[in-house]
Amino acid sequence: MITIKNREQIEKMRKAGKLTAEAIEAVHKAIHPGVTTKELDAIAEDYIRSRGGAPSFKGYGGFPGSICASVNEEVVHGIPSDRKLQEGDIIGIDCGVLLDGWQGDSAATFAVGKISADAQNLIDITRQSFYEGLKMCHPGMRLGDIGHAVQSYAESHGCGVVRDLCGHGIGREMHEDPEVPNFGKPGHGLRLVKGLVIAVEPMINLGTWRVRTLNDGWTCVTADGSLSGHYEHTIAITDGEPELLTLL
**What is the 3 state secondary structure string of the chain?**
CCCCCCHHHHHHHHHHHHHHHHHHHHHHHHCCCCCEHHHHHHHHHHHHHHCCCEECCCCHHHCCCCEEEEECCEEECCCCCCCECCCCCEEEEEEEEEECCEEEEEEEEEECCCCCHHHHHHHHHHHHHHHHHHCCCCCCCEHHHHHHHHHHHHHHCCCEECCCCCEEECCCCCCEEEEECCCCCCCCCCECCCCCEEEECCEEECCCCCEEECCCCCCEEECCCCCEEECEEEEECCCCCCEECCCC
Q: What is the mean pLDDT of the chain?
A: 98
CB 200 within 8 Å of CB 133: yes
Which residues, 6+ apart, have CB-to-CB distance to 207 below 8 Å?
A: 160, 222, 224, 225, 226
pLDDT digits (tens, 9 = 90+) for 10-27: 999 999 999 999 999 999
* CA distance readout (Å), 240 to 2, 135, 190, 195, 243: 21, 12, 19, 11, 9
pLDDT digits (tens, 9 = 90+) for 110-168: 999 999 999 999 999 999 999 999 999 999 999 999 999 999 999 999 999 999 999 99
pTM over 0.95: yes
pLDDT digits (tens, 9 = 90+) for 90-110: 999 999 999 999 999 999 999
Q: What pLDDT is stored for residue 217 in this prediction?
A: 97
Sign of CA dihedral 194, 196, 198, 200: negative
The Cα–Cα gap between 159 and 1 comes to 33
What domains, with CATH codes, occur in the chain? Answer: 7-244 (3.90.230.10)
